[in-house]
Structure 1
Amino acid sequence: MTMMKSPTSTSYLILAPVAILLLLFLLSSLNRTGAGGGSDGLGVLCARRAGTRHPTAAVSARAEAAEPELSLLVGILTMPKRRERRDIVRLAYALQPPAAGARVDVRFVFCNVTDPVEAALVALEIMHHGDIIVLDCAENMNDGKTYAYFSSVPRLFAAAPYDYVMKTDDDTYLRVAALVGELRPRPRDDVYLGYGYNMSGDPKLFMHGMGYVLSWDLASWVSTAEEILARNDTLGPEDLMLGKWLNLAGKGRNRYDLKPRMYDLSWDMDNLRPDSVAVHMLKDNSRWATTLRYFNVTAGIKPSKLYHLP
């Protein structure tokens, strides 16, 4: 019977450098995909369209070469369990062309993740995508989450403030370049922009929760406005409450109503328009598919024998 030889010291000397190289490769991979500073979010996702192997480096190089004309943080309020929806939304934004001259970062916003299974899966998303904010609040829709978001942003991004901060939902398809085009000629302070509710004859008293934008100074004001908490005005329909904060304080004087370019997708899904800024009520995959087809998001897919699509 042939006996197997035990490894010799020479064998270990040969294998050791290989193991060290493998470890270094894994660590560098984690560093590339981990959540870090700088402009990741949508900026990185858009960079991938250009075929760059290291999107973060590509975005950083562009940022150093030219200071952006404007910067926008898009916070998508969602819940940990909506993982499939986040994957669709990430791809929907990643396949959009970059907004020229703008730094746009997209973040998914949760409150505290208390379930240990969800916490583990969310941690994987954070490590891989680096596009999640977890606020210190109980998960909710109209019981203070929007307040927690706007009041936290100035502290979280104090080192690199944005010109504008947006709140939107995971059932809204935002066409980023179109929104940037609307923001570009606007002032950089005291701005409140979105889909205006027509209440009391004034279509700009409140902006619909499908998506609205505040200038950085207004987000900073929310973070320090003690009167909001004193009136217990964090509870209630979040879009109406935010409008109330601004109205009572006489703030947000530069108001812009983007109807009809922001709208709800109809029951028959037949009211899409080419100049859309945001399409709301994409509550299921069929509505997302209809919207993505309308805007030719997958038109650039290359023919291949590896897949057969209708």
Structure 2
Amino acid sequence: MKTNSSHGLHGASLCTPYLLLVPLGLLAALLVLPSLGPSNARSDGLGVLCGGAGADGYSVSSGDDEEKAAGTAPPPGAGTEEFSLLVGVLTMPSRRERRDIVRMAYALQPPAGAARVDVRFVFCNVTDPVDAALVAVEARRHGDILVLNCTENMNDGKTHAYLSSVPRLFASRPYDYVMKTDDDTYLRVAALAEELRGKPRGDVYLGHGFAVGDDPMPFMHGMGYVVSWDVARWVSDNQEILRHNDTHGPEDLLVGKWLSIGGRGKNRYSLKPRMYDLNWFMDNFRPDTIAVHMLKDNRRWAAAFRYFNVTAGINPSDLYHQP
């Protein structure tokens, strides 16, 4: 994926032990900066997904680079910004190849109009020294890493840690919407943005709705769901969730449970069947897809890229052959 800068090798005279400390120090900075207060949220060097970046559609640049290019960052709702969306892709440190694929999947998409869409890859604490070094380098190169203060897990509180941390980390420039999704989901940002344009900015809970009994959608499928900023802030402030130890179990079902008990997310929207699981035979892609889930291996990602013509606009070159 394109960035606004490239990194060379400098200081060849440094001793090897000191070089090995650099990535670990970078990761430590990522963990410490969010705790310094909301004033750091906009200039933390985390990645920003920018719409309309020439032929690439989306490109990742650092928050610092974006502010230098644009001058002072505008307040929410200023200028032509229609609405803003934070996409948190929950992943694990060892899935580096998957993250590279997902980055390309976002970078090669068309713009989402005037919407501001920022993407972060979300981890819990990175404890393995090898992973810590590689994630730190990844953060420096791509600028799209968010490390939470939790133990890595899937259904043991990570989603709660994400939703409850976002309002504090980005308090200086709130988003209209916050999305949780997974690294085996192909999200078509422009299609989602089109759905959000006509929706309220408050008390929203949107995704692939599950029907249970007479309730048409008590919760949204974990492949990806969106809540409005006020709902994320309510989750962050609601100490009852932690007091009752209500973060352990299927994370998508639990989010629906919290909101139903608290009377939140009353504006509920199911985007089924445009958000769906890919079946075993990989023959159920839809042209109007918003998100397709269960892309568990490279073969499935390749099938998705072929179906959605991701490489259709590639420039011809003598350096490669595109079948």
Say whether residues 1:176 and 2:189 are aligned partners: yes
Q: Distance in 2 between matches of 1:53 and 1:143?
A: 30
Distance in 2, Cα, partners of 1:127 & 1:213: 28
Contact 2:87–2:117 at 8 Å: present in 1 too?
yes
Residues 39 and 60 in structure 1, CA contact (< 8 A), matched pair in contact too: no
| CA offset digits 1:7-59 (Å, max 9, x no partner) | xxxxxxxxxxxxxxx99xxxxxxxxxx99458942217945727999894499
Q: 1:189 to 1:301 in 2, by over 3 A?
A: same
| Pairwise CA distance, 1:87 | 0.1
Matched, 1:291 2:314: no
Residue 3 (structure 1) aligns with: none
- Could you tell me how far apart the structure 2 residues matched to 1:78 and 1:53 are? 18
Where in structure 1 are there 5+ consecutive unaligned residues?
A: 1-21, 24-33
Native 8 Å contact 1:228 1:234 kept in 2: yes
RMSD value, Cα: 2.6
Q: Residue 83 of structure 1 aligns with which residue?
A: 96
Per the alignment, in what secondary structure is the counterpart of residue 42 of structure 1?
Answer: strand
- Indicate the structure with greater helix content: 1
1:61 alignment counterpart: 70
State the Cα deviation string for residues 191-233 of structure 1 (Å, max 9, x = none): 0000001111323110000000000000000011011112211
Match in the other structure for 1:277: 290
TM-score (norm 1): 0.84
* CA distance, structure 1, for counterparts of residue 275 and residue 58 of structure 2: 31
Query: In the TM superposition, what whole-angstrom CA distance separates every residue of 1:137-179 from its partner, at most 9, and x where no partner exists?
Result: 0000000000000000000000000000000000000000000
Structure 2 equivalent of residue 245 of structure 1: 258
1:188 paired with 2:201, answer yes
Paired AA for residue 165 in structure 1: V
Say if 1:39 and 1:103, in contact at 8 Å, map to a contact too. Answer: no
* Distance in 2 (alpha carbons) for counterparts of 1:174 and 1:188: 21
Q: Which runs of 5+ in 2 are unaligned?
A: 1-9, 12-28, 31-42
User: Max radius of gyration: which structure?
Assistant: 1
Aligned to 1:18: none
Q: Give the match for residue 111 of structure 2.
A: 98
Match of 2:36 in 1: none
- Corresponding position: 1:266 with 2:275: no
Aligned to 1:215: 228
Cα distance 1:130–1:299, how it changes in 2: closer, same or farther (>3 A)?
same
Are the structure 2 counterparts of residues 300 and 219 from structure 1 closer, same or farther at C-alpha, using a change threshold of 3 Å?
same
Kindly tell me: are residues 75 and 59 of structure 1, through their superposed partners in 2, closer, same or farther at Cα, counting changes over 3 Å? farther
Output the CA distance in 1 between the equivalents of 2:300 and 2:131.
26
Q: Is 2:47–2:60's contact at 8 Å kept on the other side of the alignment?
A: no
* CA distance, structure 1, for counterparts of residue 124 and residue 240 of structure 2: 23
Q: Is the 8 A contact 2:47 2:120 kept in 1?
A: no
2:249 matches 1:236: yes
- How far does residue 308 in structure 1 lie from its aligned partner after superposition? 2.1
Give the letter aligned to residue 49 of structure 1: D
Residues 90, 45 of structure 1: CA spacing in aligned structure 2 closer, same or farther, 3 A cutoff?
A: farther
Which secondary structure state, in structure 2, belongs to the residue aligned with residue 151 of structure 1?
helix
Which residue is equivalent to 2:16?
Answer: none
- The size of the alignment, in residue pairs, is 279
Task: Check 1:224–1:216 CA distance in 2 against 1; reply closer, same or farther (3 A cut).
Answer: same
What's the secondary structure of 1:279's corresponding residue? strand
- CA–CA distance in 2 between the matches of 1:61 and 1:233? 43
Contact 1:233 1:241 in 2 (8 A): yes
* TM-score, with length taken from structure 2: 0.80
- Matched AA of 2:50: G
